[in-house]
Amino acid sequence: WAATFLRDIRQVKVTISFQGETLEQAFMRLSEVSNVSFNYNHNELRKITTKQLTFKNESLPQVLSAVLKETNFKYKEEENGVIIYQVNSVQEKNLASSVNQAADKITVKGTVSDKFGPLAGVSISVKQSSNGTSTDADGAYSIVVNKGETLIFSMIGYRTQEVTIGSQTAVNITLESEVTQLEEVVAVGYGTQKKVNLTGAIATVSAKDFENRPITNVSTAIQGKMSGVTVLQRSGQPGRDNGTIRIRGIGTLNDSSPLVLIDGLQGDMNTLDPNDIESVSVLKDAASAAIYGSRAANGVILITTKKGKKNSPAQLTYSAYSGWQNPTRLPQFLNSADYASLYNEALQNEGKPKKYTDEEIAKFASGVDPDKYPNTDWLGLFFTEKGYQQNHYLGLSGGSDKTTYSISLGYFDQQGLIKNSFSKRYNLKTNVESQVYDRLKVGLDLNLNRKNITEPTNPYTGDMSQIFRQVIKLSPTIPYKYSNGQYGYGQDGNPIAWMDLDATNASNYNDAFGNVHAELTILKGLTASGMLGARTFADMGSRFIKDIQFYDPNTGNPTKYQGPNSQRDYNANSLNITSQALLNYNGSFGKHDIKGLAGFSRESYRNDWSQGERKNFPNNELTELNPGSTDGQEATGSAYEWALQSYFGRLGYTYNNRYMFEANARYDGSSRFANGNRYGLFPSFSAGWRVSEEEFLKSLNWLSNLKLRASWGKLGNQLVTDASGNQLYYPTVSTISLGKDVDYNFNDAVASGGIVTKGVNPELTWETSTNTDLGVDISFFNSKLSFTADYFSRATKDILLDFPAPVTYGLSAPARNAGSMTNKGFEFELSHNNQFGQVAFNASTNFTIVNNEVTDLKGKGDIFYSSNAQIARVGVPYKAFYGYEVEGIFKTQEEVAAHATQSGVTKAGDLIYKDQNNDHKIDAGDRVIIGNSIPKYIYGLNLGANYKGFDVSVFMQGAAGHKGLLNNEAIGGFGDRKPLEYQLGRWTPENPNAEFPRVLATQKQNEQVSSFWVRDASYLRLKNLQLGYSFPKSITEKMRINALKLYLSGQNLFTITKYPDGYDPELPEVSRGANYPQVKVYTLGLDVKF
Amino acid sequence: CKEDFLDKAPLDELSDQTFWKSEKDAQMALNSCYRNGLYGFWEVLYLDAMADNAYSQFAWDGFQKLGNGTMDAGYVDQNNFFTFKDIRSCNEFLAGVEKIQFADPAKKEAMKAEARFIRAMAYFYKVQFFGDVPLMTTPLSLQESNIPRTPKAEVVKFILDELGAIANALPNKASSSGKVSKAAVLALKARVELSEGKFAEAAASSQQVISMGNYNLFPNYESMFWMANQGNNEVIFDRQYMANAGDNTMWDMGAHLPNSEGGWSSIDPTQSLVDEYECTDGKVKELSSLYNPQNPYVNRDPRMSATIIYPGADWRGSLFNSLDKNSADYYNNSDNASETGYNLRKYMDPAATGDDVWNWGTNAILIRYAEVLLTYAEAKIEQNQIDASVYNAIDAVRQRAGMPVVDRTVYSNQDKLRELIRRERRVEFAMEGFRWFDLKRWNQLEKIGTPVYGVRDGVVNADGSVTLSGSNRLVEERIFATKNYLLPIPQAAIDISKGVLKQNKDY
């Protein structure tokens, strides 16, 4: 043996995995890895095989204990190395008798547990001797020691503890888990894998990241937590405050949403209770996602819900919080006196007479005659509620050695900032899995979720956003109510009068999904498994609109009427059935590890919907359909289907834990395409090299892991949408359109129509994105510091595009495979955790750079969005802002005259648009790209510390390198607007260096889409700040509970941004401000474990 | 596994292969030709804003630029004037119907005639707006359909040939209101002939309709446009609407009613139109002693008060007041108040109250008997064949409206009669979408390149009279260039055609 013996084998740390080889082989490798000599009987050890075991940086005694566990071998240190001997040998007897001869020997008993309950198989050794034992299934142990000796409690995945024995005979130990990054197991497509063995780019978050935050849904829970995953929360409306998720940029001109799978079934993450989630894996590159083929082009999110653990007693958990909300930012509008004088100025700026006299303005200011000269604070009348929210969660989980279970109940109630806006969610989940035979495991997962979203309606347009629009639009010079109790109103009505009607639109979603699954072990390492899953999603809407009659306040005559009252019931029901069969193989042959997966799946989907509407109810109190008038009643309904059939497989090979190769492929067929273009093949290849396992780096104790990764592959996208973003289910089938859009009528009776109106393109096929990823994972100092970096490139081609057909075609244009776009960038993640005395500290940060570019539109030319404010143009990022470049504000009429002609009404005080093409006139030809709407940089920062029972955590999140456009009501004005506070800083002849242009009454020359209104929407936000206190055991034991934690948490506490005052930078990229505001949330919560 | 797992077909639409089997299928497709092929209220009520009768106050409605002459090559065709969806539907029907065996071949011919009429009418509007337009008579594939513009003369010849060919396949008067009849075919033919200067043919075609005897003038000019009287004997062809029928519903009352009633005042009559109405003595206002510039709305052609809501007008039980600064109808008080101070009254049915104004069923009249009479008269005048039939035709229209017969002594020659017939057409068909086409064929479109004015300042007195002072309110400056005799081809359409479509001159 060349290896040198080290005196204290506890200081030898090894990283090794065993895959069922003989003990003889195992010790040969262990010797190589550890530089420690082993002496043993080769013939005897050859008869025994190891279990599948993996050790990361474990001390040699722990490795030896685990390898020899359940064998009749033990080990013993000697001068020249370690001797492996059989316990029935003479040596053991001698050893035992020598112990018996010691003087102060006592028997110590106790149980070892972790936070979930008793732990079986914990190794207990005596520091001063080679004596040792392990805990039984109930976590109990018993050992004979000498007084003054030290017991070492160790188990893989837990922090080792030492206890010196005085006179105590009972020692109960709670081990703390110590899952290092290298041991972490992550969910991958159709399975799990140790993070250290990954060759693809997968980002994960676990339940820990969600804890004690008042997050209302899963999408916002993952915001800022992972590199490469952009989440923007566009609204704070209860129930509709989920984020939009984009993985590694925007990959298509169509739907860029990732595929979401919950325990293997396609689902909606926003109906889940975040408390039920164990982990979220985001498959970002082709290596990890290609196994999902045609739906993976925009990334895949795998959500794993909490399951019970084997051999753990029943654990009951209760957690709850209550919170209050505030808007993050609200616009500040001028009072009616300022409104009136600024309006006069605006009229005069257009050469028109003033509307208000000085006396009238004085009356607005004094408030003497609130009927004629009111000062209405519409926002104040609107945002009247505190947004109380509460969450309750009750979970029970546990398991025997054969069966595990987990049951949970969740309730969430979120009130809004305005009346009649709220959301409630009810969740019930159960998972059971049992080893029914030695070779057969079966399980059942079941989720029942109900979510309600209620919002106010209005009798003008029916929706809620119109109320927001009117609130930020309606002039303070219009009274909310006259002194006689009648409502004031503007040309579109009165939003607070509408709110007073208490008419609501309720959406109820029932989301039930579940699966039964079974796994049969055919041979060692070879398993066959099957899964049958179903999801039924019901969307039931009930909208009542109440009518309102306004009156002339002087005569009492009825004037404007908004109505009639109406009830609309909407019912949609979908059924999604997934069946899948997998064959899985894992095998090790010496240094060769091989794994393989072959699978087949089928998915079918059908959605049926119907809607009924009646108008003219006898009053505003009955909100069911029947009391409505049958005159003019409407019934509509339809259904659609799609199906997918897929074959897929994976082949992985690892040599010596150092060189890893993996290939994935999926062959997908979709019902959306015509026979012949239906199937697509999506392959991927990846490799990893754990450089840290090479001899030349092994001696570096501070280097825990260094891995290089590379991958390449193709992914597909089958979601064809029309120009307005609606999915098309039969884009290649030529049909006769029927119904309302083609019907005519003769003599007031419907004459049913039927005619071709849609062009189709039978050649249509998949969008394909080609992905390349290069990555490196490094960790240092026993993984206390770790760093991951990735470069990625994603090129999408054959993007389905509504290519305009010649006008003479006379049918709507069929989609074609035409567009191309790329997303390239870098991702970095850095994390560190450490202990300073009694203070444990952790920090992690992630940073992503994405560059998006539209690379080809096949000659279609520019595509415009958002009323020409955004553009898709070859060579620039998708949906870049497009408009005039502003050079400043004209200070004098001479400057206007000297500049290229803008419009006939341009005067001093107006914005100066740059004459890009030098033709001395400003027109459409002078518009240029003026900003990116897709965040170029996203980042997150987590800091946490705890001291004794106290913990504090800070989570910041941000995005940068993108802009947002505010227009219409959001930028204030007159006529159908009202002015904002910033407009006091307008240009006037006396204030020629003003930041803002002059005020105008009706002219819109300063409101063109321009660099003046397209503003930097970068932000950094304190997403969450949390203070917690966990009560010490001494107190909780008296209360007969295991653990109790109280915490205070604040969400969205502050935001640093240059975005215009009053508007949240996470608003939709083009906004008129009529949005539900983002909210700050203050919560108080508790967690109890029984 | 069976491939059919992935074979899915729409559950709420028919396949192209299974359609075109029965007469019922043919009738459905023909119904869709009516739906897709006809102009409706959008055109009838808005087209006059392209001319001097009205002002479109909302830019997004797409008519403002067409009226004030600022449309350019980048003009966005919000009104779908340059669409071929209408032609496509008709061509699909005409191709598909041939696959169906009819029990009665004459019925098949009649149905084909209906579709051919709709196609001819659609082409006539396109030729009026754009001159040369691509002429298609069969459904073309995506690849085949990128074709250049056909010379206008060829398209007009096609229209007239078609109308000539189908007339006898149809009954004089349709069995059901709303369907194409022989009278509609001939009246449209007369309209096309008149606009092409084929006066003899126009006179003959309109004479044929008059001689049928199936049509006459409805006794009440104002209520002719109300729902209670739809389908009356003056209506030769209309685009039919009904309540509660989605896009087939007339919601336009809401769009045009005054702000004080919750309407939008989308199309506002101009001072120029108001000035055109004669006084009740049959004289133009400049020559009539009945005209009082300070109180100009009394003693006027009754068609004015039936067409326009003016200050002091008795409107739905109270006096319309767009002069009072505190009135909801004062132009400065709301975007939805008329900028001219005048609101549209024609088609504003008093039976519609509350929400009905957004959900009504009045039909939009596309051809009515009065047009046939005035076309006959104009065609005869242009040929200088001035006889009693000419005066009788004009008299009939005037007398129905409550105006005296034509003063034979004043209107005794071709020039004077030409002046009269042109004024008569303007006031008779005001706000019915005729004006731009009339000015175009009279070579008088330059008239619309003048500023639009509205009411003068003043007060509405308790008795409904007004006391005006000052000058007329300036509402909009307008320009007109010769190129504006045709609309520009939308640049987007040219771009998609990769230049196969050429732009009109000077755009």
| A630 at interface of B, judged by CB pairs closer than 8 A | no
∠ CA A610-A615-A619, rounded to 5°: 130
Q: If you average pLDDT over residues A946-952, what whole number do you get?
A: 88
- Taking only residues 890 to 929 of chain A, the set having a beta carbon closer than 8 angstroms to any beta carbon of chain B reads 924
On whether residue B172 sits in a domain, the answer given is yes
Sketch the domain layout of chain A as residue ranges. 9-174
Specify the pLDDT at position A5. Answer: 44
The neighbouring-strand residues paired with A847 are A828, A939
> Of all helices (H) and strands (E), which one includes residue B375?
helix B369-382
Q: Closest residue of A to B19, CA-based?
A: A736
On whether residue B33 sits in a domain, the answer given is yes
Specify the pLDDT at position B346. Answer: 98
CA-based nearest residue to A433, from A515, A536, A512: A515
Shortest alpha-carbon distance between residue B32 and chain A (Å): 5
Specify the pLDDT at position A142. Answer: 87
Read off the tokens for A277: 């989630």
Given a cut of 60, whether residue A94 has pLDDT beyond it is no
State chain A's mean pLDDT as an integer.
89
Confidence of residue A6 (pLDDT cuts 50, 70, 90): very low
- Whether A668 and A293 have beta carbons less than 8 Å apart is answered as yes
Given a cut of 80, whether residue A604 has pLDDT beyond it is yes
* Torsion angle in degrees (nearest 10) through CA of A452, A453, A458, A462: -80
| A369 at interface of B, judged by CB pairs closer than 8 A | no
CA-based nearest residue to A778, from A676, A857, A699, A689: A689
Rg of chain A over CA atoms, in angstroms?
34
Shortest alpha-carbon distance between residue A548 and chain B (Å): 10
Residues from chain B that touch A811, judged by Cβ atoms under 8 A, are 85, 88
| pLDDT digit string, tens, across residues A127-180 | 887 777 878 877 888 888 888 888 888 876 677 788 888 878 888 888 876 655
Q: If you average pLDDT over residues A524-553, what whole number do you get?
A: 94
Residues from chain A that touch B12, judged by Cβ atoms under 8 A, are 638-639, 738-739
Indicate which CATH number applies to the domain containing B34. 1.25.40.390
| A130 at interface of B, judged by CB pairs closer than 8 A | no
Shortest alpha-carbon distance between residue A751 and chain B (Å): 6
From residue B317, alpha-carbon distances to B458, B464, B466 in Å are 21, 12, 17
CA distance B463 to B455: 19
Q: Which residues contact B402 (CB under 8 A, 6 or more apart)?
A: B221, B280, B301, B302
* Total Cβ atoms within 10 A of residue A1031: 17
| A638 at interface of B, judged by CB pairs closer than 8 A | yes
Given a cut of 70, whether residue A258 has pLDDT beyond it is yes
CA terminus-to-terminus distance, chain B: 61
Interface contact B34-A744, CB threshold 8 A: yes
Given a cut of 80, whether residue A291 has pLDDT beyond it is yes
**Cis ω for the linkage preceding A1077 (within 30 of 0):** no
- Coil, helix or strand for A496? helix
- Taking only residues 489 to 518 of chain A, the set having a beta carbon closer than 8 angstroms to any beta carbon of chain B reads 490-491
CA-based nearest residue to A254, from A660, A754, A845, A672: A672
Residues from chain B that touch A617, judged by Cβ atoms under 8 A, are none
Confidence of residue A98 (pLDDT cuts 50, 70, 90): very low
Q: Which amino acid is at A791?
A: Y
Q: Closest residue of A to B73, CA-based?
A: A924
Domain count within chain B: 1
Interface contact B355-A563, CB threshold 8 A: yes
More confident residue, A455 or B331: A455
- Coil, helix or strand for A8? coil
Residues from chain B that touch A340, judged by Cβ atoms under 8 A, are none
Rounded to two decimals, the ipTM of the complex is 0.94
Residues in chain B, pLDDT under 50:
1
CA-based nearest residue to A926, from A904, A907, A905, A899: A899
Shortest alpha-carbon distance between residue B189 and chain A (Å): 24
Mutate to test the interface with B, among A604, A638, A807 (most CBs of B within 10 A): A807
Mutate to test the interface with A, among B1, B4, B11 (most CBs of A within 10 A): B11
With tokens 């802002």, the residue in question is A881
Burial B128-141 (b: 16+ CB within 10 A, else e): bbbbbbbbbeebbe
CA-based nearest residue to A364, from A373, A356, A355: A373
Specify the pLDDT at position A91. Answer: 47
Shortest alpha-carbon distance between residue B6 and chain A (Å): 4
Specify the pLDDT at position B124. Answer: 98
CA distance A487 to B361: 31
- Taking only residues 327 to 366 of chain A, the set having a beta carbon closer than 8 angstroms to any beta carbon of chain B reads 355
Q: Closest residue of B to A563, CA-based?
A: B355
Residues from chain A that touch B501, judged by Cβ atoms under 8 A, are 807
CA distance A998 to A343: 11
- Taking only residues 330 to 359 of chain B, the set having a beta carbon closer than 8 angstroms to any beta carbon of chain A reads 332, 334-336, 353-355, 359
Given a cut of 60, whether residue A578 has pLDDT beyond it is yes
| B362 at interface of A, judged by CB pairs closer than 8 A | no
- Whether B467 and B491 have beta carbons less than 8 Å apart is answered as no
Domain that holds residue B193: 23-216+485-496
- Whether A489 and A396 have beta carbons less than 8 Å apart is answered as no
Q: Which residues contact A351 (CB under 8 A, 6 or more apart)?
A: none
Interface contact B334-A490, CB threshold 8 A: yes
Given a cut of 70, whether residue A97 has pLDDT beyond it is no
CA-based nearest residue to A462, from A609, A564, A611: A564
CA distance B102 to B121: 26
Shortest alpha-carbon distance between residue A789 and chain B (Å): 41
Specify the pLDDT at position A181. Answer: 53
Q: If you average pLDDT over residues A891-916, what whole number do you get?
A: 94
**Residue A258 CA to its chain's centroid (Å):** 10
Shortest alpha-carbon distance between residue A315 and chain B (Å): 45
CA distance A937 to A956: 14
Interface contact A671-B25, CB threshold 8 A: no
> φ and ψ at A168, to 5 degrees?
-70, 145
Confidence of residue A557 (pLDDT cuts 50, 70, 90): confident
Q: Which amino acid is at B385?
A: Q
Interface contact A733-B15, CB threshold 8 A: yes
* Torsion angle in degrees (nearest 10) through CA of A16, A19, A25, A27: 40
| A744 at interface of B, judged by CB pairs closer than 8 A | yes
Q: What percent of chain A has pLDDT over 90?
A: 60
Q: Closest residue of A to B27, CA-based?
A: A753
CA distance A104 to A147: 6
| B463 at interface of A, judged by CB pairs closer than 8 A | no
* Torsion angle in degrees (nearest 10) through CA of A892, A894, A896, A897: 170
- Out of 2.40.37.10, 2.60.40.10, 3.40.50.300, 1.20.200.10, the CATH code matching A9-174 is 2.60.40.10
Q: Closest residue of A to B96, CA-based?
A: A755
**Residue A365 CA to its chain's centroid (Å):** 49
Given a cut of 80, whether residue A3 has pLDDT beyond it is no
Interface contact A634-B176, CB threshold 8 A: no
